């Protein structure tokens, strides 16, 4: 069998997940990926020099959906926004009589980004949110004002 990573001919390969796809690689390359749990406990210690060549394609079972939705959620935004944060953005922008283009320019973003922000369909990074807050002199976070009971 050929290692799908380095291309070496080896007598056993391991299925590992590398950046969202499954590769069959040699032992040396296996450490670069995340091992995919084999169906049984029969992986290591099976130097099969004996026995008939039970060729045939290596069946890879992976039930996980391909995780190609990039890590949108791996950098979870830390700021908790007020429910109407995007409306606040638009109101503040309109108060300044800026067009979405103008706001975009000041934020170094495209107009389409501004429009998506104002529609609430795009959640900017915390850094960008802070920038918007500073620029428009508004508050977008839902930081509770010192709770009193």
Binding residues vs Zn ion (CB under 5 A): 3, 5-6, 25-26, 29
Q: Are 1 and 24 in contact (CB under 8 A)?
A: yes
Q: Which is nearer to Zn ion, 3 or 89 (CB)?
A: 3
- C-alpha 46: how far from chain center: 37
Instruction: Report the alpha-carbon angle 146-148-149, nearest 5.
Output: 155
The structure tokens listed for 5 are 């990573």
Q: Which is nearer to Zn ion, 28 or 142 (CB)?
A: 28
Q: Which is nearer to Zn ion, 36 or 79 (CB)?
A: 36
Q: Are 107 and 132 in contact (CB under 8 A)?
A: yes
Residue 118 CB, nearest approach to Zn ion (Å)? 50
Residue 44 CB, nearest approach to Zn ion (Å)? 17
Residue 115 CB, nearest approach to Zn ion (Å)? 48
């Amino acid at each position: 069998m050929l290692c799908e990573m380095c291309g070496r001919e080896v007598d056993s390969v391991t299925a590992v997940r590398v950046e969202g796809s499954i590769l069959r690689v040699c032992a040396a390359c296996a450490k670069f990926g995340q091992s995919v749990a084999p169906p049984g406990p029969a992986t290591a210690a099976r130097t099969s020099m004996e026995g008939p060549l039970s060729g045939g394609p290596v069946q890879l079972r992976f039930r996980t959906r391909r995780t190609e939705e990039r890590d949108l959620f791996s950098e979870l935004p830390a700021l908790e926004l007020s429910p109407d944060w995007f409306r606040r953005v638009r109101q503040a922008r309109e108060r300044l009589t800026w067009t979405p283009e103008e706001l975009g320019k000041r934020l170094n973003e495209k107009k389409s980004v501004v429009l998506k922000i104002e529609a609430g369909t795009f959640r900017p990074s915390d850094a960008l949110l802070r920038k918007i807050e500073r620029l428009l002199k508004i508050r977008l976070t839902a930081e509770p004002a010192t709770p009193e009971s």
